[in-house]
């Protein structure tokens, strides 16, 4: 693996290898007081964030540090994108400074792909930490790690992804990865929040959350951004909550073993009831914890195991 | 000045003939004895066509002379077989007054490679708020007959109605960039499966179709002439057919790239493929080809849009839309329309020369190849192929989506009023 740009096209073997490595790392570090492996000593990892996301950046930063990489955080305001300060120039600067890996978060779909092209000559690896409304592959991998832990294999498991699918890079990455790993995906959302051409994706579509819940093994709630609420995508937060929120009543429809996921930050009360978010079914804190191990595994496969993992 | 074109086949039909041109006018067709001192173009095996007319060119001067000038753009046009181009108004300053339009016209005349006809803006500053002084531009030296806010849509229906009504007194046409702006907020690519997969906010076909439908109704109501720029969707073709059947004075153009390229190309995220309206689906391209063959879409216009590397070699969202077109248009038309049997060379003359000249109101261009007619001509080698290299094109910018592609049909010479402007790929 040279880059991690998307889960679209990521094969099952590579994805499973990353998840297995994450498992191993988790067990290796379990109960250790000093969480430090020497694996990436001397390697330089740069996080380049054009959008604020403390949770994702910190997760990558910790992952790098636990593997003894030198981690440098660069944040650039997304407004500079439109002010002629070019991503390309920034990329070339980072390459010249000796970055082994650039972890990029950017408001433009495809930015990570472009970056990997500009960095090709320098041999720098690129990890997509979220590009526009395209993909967020490490989020999907950490979701898969969490589901594997709770459910065992993902094969033939049925996962509902609920909410703002059209604007969600998390949803896109999950749709592809879950499908690749053998799960069935059902998207539950109002028609305004589903992408055009959704029928071409390996999913089924529903507008009725109550009807889907009894037959799923996991529910993945998506974040609804505030601007969607006033952009006419749905009439009101109240109606959204009534139709697509995961209430306690709805949680009761789920099978006992079912897992509830949310990429955070959660809109408690609207997307998900307070009690549901904190219930034993909820794996929200495990998602965060697994995020670090999965990102360690990704960095390992990109930087430490040259030739070992495909 | 005397010129003899030896052994070409006008419209690719019949036996090869010689064409004698004296003082810019065709004076004899048949077997011509070369007069002393005459220039001779050996055109054996080549197709002789009326010089092409582009209704939709961005020459970038004034304002972005780092990407194209009237000089470099005229050269690209001549090399592409063009004898006249319409320079869009979205320059800096905007061509919304006679000072700018007359300047552009005059610069075109000074360069002398093609007739450069400035398009006047419909509204002041392309702001869509207040009509520009259309009459003053029409009555100026440039004699503007095409008005367009291209780049943006005249979205206000009342203002569009007034523009159409007002233009009837000027014998002018309003060329609309049909894009309902409320439906394309943030749009980055054709709304469909591909955009959904790649995470691009979508530019729905209905944003074009709804404006075309509205404008056709307004044009019919005002008995005015409407021209639809760069038609890109199958649905627009249906609207145009319906409007024309009702007697609307509407014409339409399609770009070469919408005939050949589709949104399949977006996988690379390379903004060389970013254009407005966006590349659509294969089904759209197929229907546009058929509509052009049938005449529902009247002509081909390049939407030649040069951009500097810093405006193109970026992440997709930051890139400006547009691609070069003047030097590749003929080849793309040959590839999509001639090789497919949809058009013969007479058809090519119609869509690249005669109809655009009629729509743009140019009496000396797009004329028949006949004695007594002005000698604005293009010679094409139908069997030759060439490989497109952006850096070798005459434009200052190099943003061509056809980089490295092999295309059929080579423009071997262009003649403007009896004078050779381009020959064998070089400017004369
Ligand atoms: Zn336009």
Task: State pLDDT tens for residues B250-261.
Answer: 999 999 999 999
Query: Are A263 and A2 within 8 A, CB to CB?
Result: no
Measured on CA atoms in the order A165, A168, A172, A174, is the torsion positive or negative?
Answer: negative
**Interface check B198 vs A, CB under 8 A:** yes
Residue A101 has pLDDT above 70, yes or no: yes
Residue A244 has pLDDT above 60, yes or no: yes
Nearest Cα residue in chain A from B203: A196
Tell me what the mean pLDDT of segment B307-320 comes to. 94
| pLDDT attached to residue A180 | 98
> Which of A108, A130, A164 to probe the B interface (max B CBs under 10 A)?
A108
What backbone phi and psi angles, to 5 degrees, belong to B411?
-75, 115
| pLDDT attached to residue B127 | 97
Residue A226 has pLDDT above 80, yes or no: no
- With CB atoms and an 8 Å threshold, state whether A109 touches B313: no
Mean predicted lDDT score pLDDT of chain B: 97
Distance from C-alpha of A25 to C-alpha of A161, rounded to nearest angstrom: 28
Tell me what the mean pLDDT of segment B125-143 comes to. 97
Distance from C-alpha of B59 to C-alpha of B389, rounded to nearest angstrom: 20
Confidence of residue A78 (pLDDT cuts 50, 70, 90): low
| pLDDT attached to residue A308 | 40
Confidence of residue A83 (pLDDT cuts 50, 70, 90): low
Tell me what the mean pLDDT of segment A19-23 comes to. 97
Q: Which residue in B263, B303, B311, B381 is the catalytic one?
A: B303
> Which of B183, B318, B319, B320 to probe the A interface (max A CBs under 10 A)?
B318
Best CA proximity match to B291, nearest among B322, B250, B246: B250
Tell me what the mean pLDDT of segment B160-183 comes to. 97
| pLDDT attached to residue A35 | 81
Predicted ipTM of the assembly? 0.86
Q: Which residues of B touch A166 (CB under 8 A)?
A: 196
**Interface check B283 vs A, CB under 8 A:** no
- What does pTM read for this prediction? 0.93
- Residues of chain B with pLDDT > 70, as a percent, come to 100
A289 annotated as belonging to a binding site for a ligand: no
Tell me what the mean pLDDT of segment A179-184 comes to. 98
pLDDT in tens, B144-166: 999 999 999 999 999 999 999 99
3-class secondary structure, A51: coil
> Which residues, 6+ apart, have CB-to-CB distance to B241 below 8 Å?
B291, B296
CA distance B310 to chain A (A): 8
Residue B215 has pLDDT above 80, yes or no: yes
Residue A310 has pLDDT above 80, yes or no: no
Q: Residues, chain A, total?
A: 310
- With CB atoms and an 8 Å threshold, state whether B196 touches A196: yes
Mean predicted lDDT score pLDDT of chain A: 92
Confidence of residue B30 (pLDDT cuts 50, 70, 90): very high
Task: Name the CATH topology of A12-136+288-303.
Answer: Rossmann fold (3.40.50)
pLDDT in tens, A119-129: 999 999 999 99
- With CB atoms and an 8 Å threshold, state whether A88 touches B313: yes
Task: Name the CATH topology of B50-359.
Answer: TIM Barrel (3.20.20)
CA distance A229 to chain B (A): 16
CA distance A175 to chain B (A): 11
3-class secondary structure, A123: coil
Cα dihedral A201, A203, A206, A210 in deg (nearest 10): -150
Tell me what the mean pLDDT of segment B385-406 comes to. 98
| pLDDT attached to residue B428 | 87
CA distance A84 to chain B (A): 8
Nearest Cα residue in chain A from B319: A82
| pLDDT attached to residue A227 | 77
Confidence of residue A305 (pLDDT cuts 50, 70, 90): low
Best CA proximity match to B317, nearest among A133, A136, A91: A133
Distance from C-alpha of B163 to C-alpha of B300, rounded to nearest angstrom: 24
Residue intervals of chain A classified under CATH 3.40.50.1370 are 12-136+288-303, 137-284
Partners of B57 in the beta sheet?
A: B87, B304
Tell me what the mean pLDDT of segment A276-292 comes to. 96
Q: Which of A130-139, A215-224, A225-234, A236-245 has the lowest mean pLDDT?
A: A225-234
pLDDT in tens, B341-352: 999 999 999 999
Q: Which residues of B touch A113 (CB under 8 A)?
A: 268-269
Query: Are B144 and B118 within 8 A, CB to CB?
Result: yes
Residue B186 Cα to ligand 1 midpoint, Å, equals 16
Residue B143 has pLDDT above 80, yes or no: yes
Confidence of residue A307 (pLDDT cuts 50, 70, 90): very low
- With CB atoms and an 8 Å threshold, state whether A108 touches B316: yes
Confidence of residue A230 (pLDDT cuts 50, 70, 90): confident
Please state the CATH superfamily assignment of the domain spanning residues B2-47+373-427 in this structure: Urease, subunit C, domain 1 (2.30.40.10)
- A200 phi-psi bin (left φ>0, alpha ψ -120 to 50, beta other): alpha
Confidence of residue A75 (pLDDT cuts 50, 70, 90): confident
Distance from C-alpha of A24 to C-alpha of A22, rounded to nearest angstrom: 5
| pLDDT attached to residue A32 | 84
Residue intervals of chain B classified under CATH 2.30.40.10 are 2-47+373-427
**Interface check B182 vs A, CB under 8 A:** no
Answer yes or no: B303 catalytic. yes
pLDDT in tens, A271-283: 999 999 999 999 9
| pLDDT attached to residue A34 | 79
Confidence of residue A80 (pLDDT cuts 50, 70, 90): low
Query: Would you list which residues of B are annotated within the binding site?
Result: 56, 58-60, 90, 150, 177, 230, 276, 303, 307, 321-322
Residue A229 has pLDDT above 80, yes or no: no
| pLDDT attached to residue A267 | 87
- With CB atoms and an 8 Å threshold, state whether A110 touches B269: yes
Of 3.30.499.10, 3.40.1260.10, 3.40.50.1370, 3.40.50.2000, the CATH number of A137-284 is: 3.40.50.1370
Q: Which residues of B touch A109 (CB under 8 A)?
A: 188, 198-200, 269, 316-317
């Amino acid at each position: 693996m040279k880059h991690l740009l998307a889960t679209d096209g990521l094969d099952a073997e590579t994805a499973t290898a990353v998840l297995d490595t994450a498992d191993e790392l988790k067990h290796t570090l379990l109960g250790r007081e000093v969480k430090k492996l020497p694996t990436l000593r001397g390697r330089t990892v740069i996080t380049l964030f054009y959008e604020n996301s403390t949770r994702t950046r910190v997760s990558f930063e910790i992952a790098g540090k636990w593997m003894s990489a030198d981690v440098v955080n660069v944040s650039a305001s997304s407004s500079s994108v439109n002010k002629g300060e070019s991503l390309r120039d920034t990329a070339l600067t980072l390459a010249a400074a000796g970055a082994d890996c650039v972890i990029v978060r950017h408001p433009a779909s495809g930015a990570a792909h472009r970056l990997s092209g500009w960095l090709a000559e320098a041999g720098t690896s690129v990890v997509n930490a979220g590009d526009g409304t395209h993909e967020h592959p490490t989020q999907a991998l950490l979701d898969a790690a969490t589901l594997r832990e709770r459910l065992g294999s993902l094969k033939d498991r049925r996962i509902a992804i609920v909410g703002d699918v059209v604007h969600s890079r998390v949803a896109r990455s999950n749709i592809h990865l879950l499908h690749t790993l053998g799960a069935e995906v059902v998207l539950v959302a109002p028609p305004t929040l589903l992408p055009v051409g959704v029928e071409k994706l390996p999913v089924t579509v529903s507008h009725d959350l109550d009807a889907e819940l009894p037959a799923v093994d996991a529910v993945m709630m998506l974040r609804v951004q505030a601007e969607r609420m006033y952009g006419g995508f749905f009439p009101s937060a109240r109606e959204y909550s009534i139709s697509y929120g995961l209430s306690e009543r709805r949680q009761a429809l789920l099978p006992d073993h079912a897992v509830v996921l949310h990429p955070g930050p959660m809109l408690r009360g609207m997307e998900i009831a307070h009690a549901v978010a904190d219930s034993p079914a909820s794996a929200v804190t495990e998602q965060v914890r697994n995020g670090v191990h999965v990102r360690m595994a990704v960095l390992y496969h990109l930087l430490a195991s040259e030739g070992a993992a495909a | 000045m005397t010129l003899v074109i030896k052994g070409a086949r006008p419209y690719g039909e019949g036996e090869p003939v010689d064409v004698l041109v004296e003082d810019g006018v065709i004076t004899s067709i048949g077997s011509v004895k070369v007069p002393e001192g005459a220039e001779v173009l050996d055109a054996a095996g080549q197709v002789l066509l009326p010089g092409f007319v582009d209704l939709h060119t961005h020459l970038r001067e004034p304002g972005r002379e780092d990407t194209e000038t009237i000089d470099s753009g005229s050269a690209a046009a001549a090399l592409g077989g063009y004898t006249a181009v319409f320079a869009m108004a979205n320059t800096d300053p905007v061509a919304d007054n006679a000072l700018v339009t007359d300047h552009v016209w005059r610069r075109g005349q000074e360069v002398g490679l093609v007739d450069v006809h400035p398009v006047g803006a419909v509204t002041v500053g392309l702001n869509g708020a207040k009509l520009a002084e259309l009459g003053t531009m029409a009555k100026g030296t440039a004699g503007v007959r095409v008005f367009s806010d291209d780049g943006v849509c005249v979205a206000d229906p009342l203002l569009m109605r007034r523009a159409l009504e007002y233009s009837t007194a000027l014998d002018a046409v309003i060329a609309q960039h049909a894009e309902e702006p409320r439906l394309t907020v943030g749009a980055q690519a054709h709304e469909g499966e591909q955009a959904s997969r790649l995470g691009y906010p979508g530019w729905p076909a209905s944003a074009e179709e709804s404006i075309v439908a509205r404008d056709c109704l307004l044009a019919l109501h005002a008995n005015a002439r409407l021209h639809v720029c760069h038609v890109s969707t199958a649905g627009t073709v249906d609207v145009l057919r319906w409007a024309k059947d009702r007697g609307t004075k509407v014409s339409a153009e399609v770009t070469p790239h919408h005939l050949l390229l589709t949104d399949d190309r977006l996988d690379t995220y390379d903004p060389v493929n970013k254009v407005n309206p966006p590349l659509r689906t294969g089904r759209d391209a197929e229907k546009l080809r058929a509509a052009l063959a049938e005449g529902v879409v009247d002509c081909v216009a390049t939407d030649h849009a040069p951009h500097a590397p810093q405006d193109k070699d970026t992440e997709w969202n930051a890139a400006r839309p547009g691609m070069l077109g003047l030097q590749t248009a003929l080849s793309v038309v040959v590839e999509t329309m001639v090789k497919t049997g949809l058009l013969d060379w007479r058809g090519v003359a119609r869509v690249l020369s005669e109809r655009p000249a009629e729509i743009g109101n140019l009496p000396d261009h797009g004329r028949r190849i006949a004695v007594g007619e002005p000698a604005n001509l293009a010679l094409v080698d139908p069997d030759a192929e060439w490989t497109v290299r952006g850096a070798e094109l005459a434009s200052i910018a190099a943003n061509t989506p056809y980089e490295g592609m092999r295309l059929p049909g080579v423009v071997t010479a262009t003649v403007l009023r009896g004078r050779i402007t381009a020959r064998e790929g070089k400017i004369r």
